[in-house]
Structure 1
Amino acid sequence: MRITFDFAAVLTQWPLLLRGVAWTLALTAVSAVLGVAIGVGGAWARSAGPRWLRTVAGAYVELVRNTPFIVQLFFVFFGLPAAGVKLSPETASVIAMVVNLGAYATEIVRAGLEATPRGQLEAAASLALTRAQTFFHVVLPPALRKVWPALVSQIVIVMLGSAVCGQISTEELSYAANLIQSRNFRAFEAFIVATGVYLLLALALRRALNWAGPRFLFGSRA
């Protein structure tokens, strides 16, 4: 049996693919900003917050890290409507991705915070800096610098995980590929193209974040 491939049948659907890429990047951008912000807050709560807050943050981290992302996504999209909270597929996807990234970012950032030399804290105290000033100007920047590669990797993982969001009809890249193959029955070609696009997105995103982090987040241009 002779097998023929027709990638043109997929590539001619480039508007669908482009829309999928746009949604994937949009979901990732919003999730990265909010997820890392939650991670910073959660890391502070787990390392320096009051006991009750450490307990809450710890429970959140353990719950999210020990359950599948698709279950978290389905809970937000299918479970919350039972409580009267109805969300669009895109909103549900963002919430699930933010919650997921926030938990992993909490542990990543916490590792950086706990690696802060005690001498830096003593120097901040000698300058009569407030706790907030010490955290944001003395502790957080070097902590982010230490853990930035791990954070970048986690953001890339979340971007790739956004493919699951097509299961609730979010029009990201995997949804576009599945829609294309349902129209022309070229599943092999459609998902090969999607695989290549995901690979390019992951490499580009990693490079962009590794470039942007030192310049805009923790002040090092080295």
Structure 2
Amino acid sequence: MTPRTDADELIEQPRIPLSRRRVLRAAVELADRDGLDALTMRRLAQEVGAEAMSLYHHVANKEAVLDGVVEVILGEITAAVDGVEAPSPEEDWQAALRARILAAREVFLRHRWAPQVLESRTNTSPAVIAYYDQVVAILRAGGFSFDLAHRALHVLGSRALGFTQELFQPGGAETADAEAAAMMEQMADQFPNIVGMLADAIHDDPDGTLGFCDDQFEFEFALDLILEGLERRRAAGS
């Protein structure tokens, strides 16, 4: 009897069947590792070890993949915010909402390409609506009228989900210190106030963020400013 070899064991290992969930998780991992531009049907097929045509049994096309990865990200956000420890909204609505938003932000910091995909979708995901419904629930429990809660959503915008669209994003990506310095030198004569502001604001950010000027301190500063302003309006009965 011929002895079994490691190769025989490897050959007999059952292949993990493809599923929509597996394809979408692979898409997220591919975008995390190589960037959103790398997310093509061909690359995704290679990622799951299948032929490109096999993917179409689970996702109709790349747009369906992008819709699906939004679902994955929003699922992570739901899990993150459900696990947040914070006061009840009746006790401290600001702390409750702040904790929820910062938990959602942590998800986007893990998937820095995700805001771009979320904003590109033509149809609003039910999961996004459900998330904002909970934001309104917190505001209502904190004493907001529907009218003020509506205005609060407009003020918060995407910040309620944990990300913002920054004004200054050279090349749509992070810019090295030397490149930023050269850019500002070229702009100094024409836009002295903007350059002066940016020169004062630039700082080391080794971990990277969601935007050129969007580090955690700046995000939280703006969030707190909004929440404090909304509380003043709520207390005044506006």
- TM, length-normalised to structure 2: 0.28
Question: Which structure carries more helix by proportion?
Answer: 1
TM-score where L is the length of structure 1: 0.29
| Higher RCO (C-alpha under 8 Å, 6+ residues apart) | 1
